[in-house]
Chains A and B, each alone.
Chain A
Amino acid sequence: GQQVMQIPQYQHVQEGEDFTTYCNSSTTLSNIQWYKQRPGGHPVFLIQLVKSGEVKKQKRLTFQFGEAKKNSSLHITATQTTDVGTYFCAGSKAAGNKLTFGGGTRVLVKP
């Protein structure tokens, strides 16, 4: 079945530094979504990418969808303590298919 892997599983970042988390799918995706879950909270939708090579920015967050639509990345610049949480990517093979979540990257920020 479809598998979505995220690396790294954990990311310790010094406040102010940049980091990138990666998402890889075993199959071509129709779209990829990113969610953020704060400690003790529930996943909150961040963004959806649908086009090959698409890049979207949200303030300090940059999301990219790979050319082959099998991978994606989230890059955060100038990390802040508010960025703490687990970032999940989720992809679907086609319209009407279920959304498969990656295992998440847990981000810890050192002040």
Chain B
Amino acid sequence: KAGVTQTPRYLIKTRGQQVTLSCSPISGHRSVSWYQQTPGQGLQFLFEYFSETQRNKGNFPGRFSGRQFSNSRSEMNVSTLELGDSALYLCASSLYTGESEQYFGPGTRLTVT
């Protein structure tokens, strides 16, 4: 079974721009969660989608948004990028809801200059 895939793997953007990251979960998994990982803050929960509905949301500003499609693929969008948004963005899929065993993708490394 193919694992979680994320595209792109690396991205360099300028302050003020927007970015869209994509995540394809493991086949059959209906839940997709997004995390931001930085050296100082660890793994911070962004949001979780289950069957195209946002189930949980972390404490991030409205510039961070996401969605899930009918095939369970998910995208997250960050608008008006700030330098502090530079991080590794990880997507994780799970069979049921977000509190069950999570399978992480390789991540997208976003650098904002």
Contact = CB atoms under 8 A, between A and B. Distances in A.
Interface of A: 1, 30-31, 33, 35, 41-45, 48, 88, 90, 92, 94-104
Interface residues of B, number: 24
Given A43-B90, A98-B98, 10 more contacts: A30-B99, A33-B101, A42-B105, A43-B43, A90-B43, A92-B99, A95-B97, A99-B45, A101-B42, A101-B45
Majority secondary structure of chain B interface residues (helix, strand, loop or mixed): strand
Given A96-B55, A98-B33, A98-B56, A104 B101 contact: no
A45 B102 contact: yes
Nearest to A41: B106
24 contacts: A31-B99, A35-B102, A41-B106, A42-B104, A43-B90, A43-B104, A44-B104, A48-B100, A48-B101, A88-B42, A92-B98, A92-B99, A96-B55, A96-B98, A96-B99, A97-B98, A98-B98, A99-B98, A100-B45, A101-B42, A101-B43, A102-B42, A104-B42, A104-B43
A19 B100 CA distance: 27
Closest 9 CB pairs of A and B: A92-B99, A98-B56, A101-B43, A42-B104, A103-B42, A43-B104, A45-B101, A98-B45, A96-B97
